[in-house]
Amino acid sequence: MKRRALSKDRKRTRATMVPPGAGRVELCSGLLEGGTTPSMGVLQVIKQCVQIPVFVMIRPRGGDFLYSDREVEVMKADIHLAKLYGADGLVLGALTEDGHVDTELCMELLSSCRPLPVTFHRAFDMVQDPVLALETLLTLGFERVLTSGCDSSALEGLPMIKQLIEQAKGKIVVMPGGGITERNLQRILEGSGATEFHCSARSARDSGMKFRNTSVAMGASLSSSEYCSKVTDVAKVRTLTAIAKSVL
């Protein structure tokens, strides 16, 4: 069965529930930064509203995946709270300065996460040697890895994703993610042999604000407008689900 992991930005969950077809939610904040740890308040509310597993992103900031001791303390505290508030799984990753999986830190974090399943996120796409990195994740005991094939999108990285799935031999789930849409999903699934995939399935929605001060931005000048939000598109999820079922 093809499973769909739907990425949801915590800022927009109040107005949209998870539509039929999604097999799992990856809950995060800050999608413009590639995803960061969401608030525990939104985790609590989401758990009351959905019946499918909710995996929580553990990432204290955007940027690289080389973490300071203080950031590691934050990650461990967030893991504890996510488990306390009902997370069904966790999503994390850490690298060394040389671009290898940080084995020592990942062992510490995995110990804090258990008995919950853990996904290694797209930090994988920043490693120096993906073949070696996958073997490391297998040894550590991660249940799955999210990857675009170490390229700009899952479609561009399709050859590497296929290679990784063949290398994994079912011992770890290699889950394509990054730029997956209704237009390329079938090609990615058929070309890789993947049994799960990850997407945001978002559409833009205009703000309900009548008064708008367009000369002020709450974030960086290149960030999205305060008067336009990205929300889960039910029609897109249904279409993606239908495509996945057709590939079975």
Q: How far apart are CA 33 and CA 47, in angstroms?
A: 24
Q: Which residues of the chain have pLDDT under 50?
A: 1, 10-16
Q: Which of 72, 70, 75, 45 is nearest to 57 (CA)?
A: 75
The pair of structure tokens assigned to 241 is: 């689900």
- Res 217: pLDDT: 79
- Res 220: pLDDT: 65
Place of tokens 């853990």: 118
Architecture of domain 3-204+232-247 in this structure: Alpha-Beta Barrel (3.20)
Neighbours of 208 (CB within 10 A): 8
- Res 20: pLDDT: 61
Q: How far apart are CA 209 and CA 136, in angstroms?
A: 49
| Chain length of the chain | 248
Q: Which of 73, 109, 78, 88 is nearest to 26 (CA)?
A: 88
> DSSP label at 33?
G
Instruction: Write the CB contacts of 152 (distance below 8 Å, at least 6 apart in sequence).
Output: 178, 179
Buried residues in 192-206 as b, exposed as e (16+ CB within 10 A) = bebbbbbbbbbeeee
